[in-house]
Amino acid sequence: MSDNGEAELLAKRAAYIDTLRGLYRRERLTGFFLILAGFALVAPSWWAPNWSHSIILAGYGLIAAGWVAYVYVIWRRTAWRRANPFDPKA
């Protein structure tokens, strides 16, 4: 393979990977911020024993929802990857 053909293949592969990384970015960020918000609600309970139990449960719920969002993104990106394998001829 010539240097030009190899550079073109690498450019196509880089574009494919960039497309894959960009999928479901909003859902990933939502999951991340849900986990951070949940931690922000749970963390003060370590130092304040009279912290409301309903706030702690809400924090754990937000953390769980954030991880559900992450699992959803992984599942959807894997499905997209299987449906659209890298084709160097495309």
DSSP 22-65: HTTHHHHHHHHHHHHHHHHHHGGGGT-TT--HHHHHHHHHHHHH
> What domain count does the chain have?
1
What is the span of the domain harbouring residue 29?
A: 3-83
DSSP 90: -
4-8, 23-27, 37-41: least confident range: 4-8
Q: Looking at the domain assignment, is residue 37 inside a domain?
A: yes
Q: Looking at the domain assignment, is residue 89 inside a domain?
A: no
Q: Looking at the domain assignment, is residue 22 inside a domain?
A: yes
**How confident is residue 69, by pLDDT bands cut at 50, 70 and 90?**
very high
Residue 65: per-residue pLDDT: 98
Instruction: Report residue 37 as tokens.
Output: 């918000």
pLDDT at 48 over 60: yes
Report the C-alpha gap between 78 and 26 in whole angstroms: 17
Report the C-alpha gap between 24 and 80 in whole angstroms: 11
pLDDT tens for each residue of 27-42: 999 999 999 999 999 9
Q: Looking at the domain assignment, is residue 90 inside a domain?
A: no
Q: What percent of the chain has pLDDT over 70?
A: 97
